[in-house]
């Protein structure tokens, strides 16, 4: 199937992920297709968020917007981590300015019976696979296309909280009051996520990232019990299945605020570990063995500074990571009120190395 896609012209990010030499440091940015771009905001006036996700032509168009504007080294398919809870039977709305909203979150353990499982991903998430295949063609081999999914603990916390939360106290209460049931739900999410990521690769994704965005709410012990085993399960099952299909695809894990678990994360089988801006890259290198690539980690707020300050911060960051086994990125998604010009300064500063 891969042979049907246009030939890849820029494989820097894949080479860096596998520890091969690169002529210049690859760079992409989380949420690179997003509200900081006027062309994205124009789209959102006309289209509901999940309608864009569910319409391959629209998702493809949004994915390509930042690629047209900037010399990025990867595209990431436009979608959201919450398409998995939707496939499990939850209604999720995206309220402009407020973020995601579940109409009926998991409010008691009896609600576990409402979860629709098993999920036929080829049917329920076909729209994502179609968007990936279309985008892979439309990219014309310019840069690799990344796929992604939310990690089980992060999705579980949304399914219980029903939206964003400052403390995650409802979902953490489940971990302490109902550990057995929590594991059951985490297992259900893991199974569908494995099928989903395999489906993305079959559809044309050339690299995969798993977002454990809510790692910061756990601690070493709860992460070890409720996050780590599922992150391991995902990488091992996906890698083994795609290997049987003849693919070799790098996988990245991002446990935001989870530095306390960096050593353990390094043992799971991911090729790349993304870090946020609250850890010094030199410290991260010490804790992660040198057969793993690091990705990150400029403070997204650095992009509010003037050009010379962005250039200095970027230079400082790259010097700390070193050029080998490195993919440049922000430490979290780009904020909606960043000036698009500032992103260009960041990308150029990385490439100028
Ligand atoms: O360009 C890209 O990076 C691809 C698209 C992408 C990705 C990878 C979007 C589009 N969302 C995501 C992942 C995602 N979604 C994560 C993991 C990464 C992270 O930590 O940021 C998370 C936690 C979500 C959940 C989510 N979706 C939030 C956070 C809410 C909270 O709890 O604080 C929000 C605001 C969204 C909506 C969303 N997703 C994507 C965009 C561009 C937007 C803005 C929606 C809009 O236009 O109204």
The domain segmentation of the chain, as residue ranges, is 2-351
Decide: 96 in ligand 1 pocket, CB within 6 A: yes
What count of other Cβ atoms lies within 10 Å of the Cβ of residue 226? 22
Decide: 255 in ligand 1 pocket, CB within 6 A: no
pLDDT tens digits, residue range 110-119?
Answer: 999 999 999 9
Going by pLDDT thresholds of 50, 70 and 90, the confidence category of residue 1 is very low
Burial class (CB in 10 A: 0-12, 13-18, 19+), 71: middle
Report DSSP letters for 196-211, one per residue: HHHHHHHHT-SEEEEE
Tokens of residue 68, six digits: 């047209």
Can you tell me the ipTM of this complex? 0.91
Burial class (CB in 10 A: 0-12, 13-18, 19+), 273: buried
Tokens of residue 18, six digits: 């596998």
Distance 30 CA to ligand 1 centre (A): 9
What count of other Cβ atoms lies within 10 Å of the Cβ of residue 341? 10
Distance 259 CA to ligand 1 centre (A): 22
Decide: 36 in ligand 1 pocket, CB within 6 A: no
Ligand 1 atom closest to Cα of residue 40: 47
Helix (H, G, I), strand (E, B) or coil at 147: strand
Decide: 336 in ligand 1 pocket, CB within 6 A: no
CATH number listed for the domain at residues 2-351: 3.20.20.210
- What is the reported pLDDT for 162? 98
- Catalytic entry in 36, 70, 158, 270: 158
In this model, does residue 120 exceed pLDDT 80?
yes
31 catalytically annotated = yes
Decide: 164 in ligand 1 pocket, CB within 6 A: yes
80 catalytically annotated = yes
What residue has token string 């650095």? Answer: 302
* Mean local confidence (pLDDT), 38-56: 96
Arithmetic mean of pLDDT over the chain: 97
pLDDT tens digits, residue range 92-105?
Answer: 999 888 899 999 99
CB 256 within 8 A of CB 1: no
CA distance 271 to 249: 9
CA distance 292 to 68: 30
- Catalytic entry in 31, 136, 232, 325: 31
pLDDT tens digits, residue range 292-327?
Answer: 999 999 999 999 999 999 999 999 999 999 999 999
**Ligand 1 pocket test, candidate residues 65, 154, 333, most atoms within 8 A of CB:** 333
Helix boundaries (H) for the chain: 12-17, 38-46, 49-54, 56-69, 83-87, 121-124, 126-138, 152-161, 169-177, 179-203, 220-226, 228-244, 262-265, 281-287, 307-321, 340-351
What count of other Cβ atoms lies within 10 Å of the Cβ of residue 337? 9
- What is the reported pLDDT for 96? 81
Tokens of residue 136, six digits: 């892979």
Cis peptide before 118 (omega within 30 of 0): yes
Cβ neighbours of residue 252 under 8 Å, at least 6 residues apart?
17, 207, 208, 209, 210, 270, 271, 272, 273, 274, 295
Decide: 214 in ligand 1 pocket, CB within 6 A: no
What count of other Cβ atoms lies within 10 Å of the Cβ of residue 309? 14
- What is the reported pLDDT for 95? 85
Cis peptide before 242 (omega within 30 of 0): no
pLDDT over 90, % of the chain: 97
Helix boundaries (H) for 148-280: 152-161, 169-177, 179-203, 220-226, 228-244, 262-265
């Amino acid at each position: 199937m891969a042979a049907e896609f246009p030939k890849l012209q820029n494989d820097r990010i894949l080479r860096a992920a596998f520890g091969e030499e690169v002529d210049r440091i690859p760079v992409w940015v989380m949420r690179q297709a997003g509200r900081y771009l006027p062309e994205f905001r124009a789209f959102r006036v006309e289209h509901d968020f999940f309608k864009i996700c569910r319409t391959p032509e629209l998702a493809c168009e949004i994915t390509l917007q930042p690629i047209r504007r900037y010399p990025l080294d990867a595209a990431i398919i436009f979608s959201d981590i919450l398409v998995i809870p939707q496939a499990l039977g939850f209604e999720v709305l995206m309220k402009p300015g407020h973020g995601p909203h579940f109409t009926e979150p998991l409010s008691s353990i009896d609600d576990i019976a409402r979860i629709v499982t098993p999920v036929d991903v080829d049917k329920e998430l076909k729209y994502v696979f179609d968007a990936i295949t279309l985008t892979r063609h439309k990219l014309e081999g310019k840069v690799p296309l990344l796929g992604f999914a939310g990690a089980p603990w992060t999705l579980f916390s949304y399914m219980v909280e029903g939206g964003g939360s400052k403390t995650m106290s409802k979902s953490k209460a489940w971990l302490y009051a109902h550990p057995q049931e929590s594991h059951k739900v985490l297992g259900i999410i893991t199974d569908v996520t494995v099928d989903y990521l395999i489906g993305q690769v079959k559809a044309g994704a050339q690299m995969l990232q798993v977002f454990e965005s809510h790692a910061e709410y756990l601690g070493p012990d709860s992460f070890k019990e409720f996050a780590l085993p599922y992150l391991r399960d995902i990488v091992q099952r996906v890698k083994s299945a795609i290997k049987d299909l003849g693919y070799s695809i790098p996988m990245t894990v991002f446990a935001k605020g989870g530095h306390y678990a960096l050593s353990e994360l390094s043992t799971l089988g991911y090729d790349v570990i993304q870090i946020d801006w609250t850890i010094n890259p030199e410290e991260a290198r010490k804790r992660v063995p040198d057969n793993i690539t690091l990705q990150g980690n400029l403070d997204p707020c650095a992009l509010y500074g003037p050009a010379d300050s962005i250039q200095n911060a970027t230079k400082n960051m790259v010097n700390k990571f070193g050029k080998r086994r490195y993919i440049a990125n922000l430490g979290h998604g780009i904020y909606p009120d960043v000036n698009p010009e500032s992103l260009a300064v960041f990308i150029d500063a990385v490439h100028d190395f």
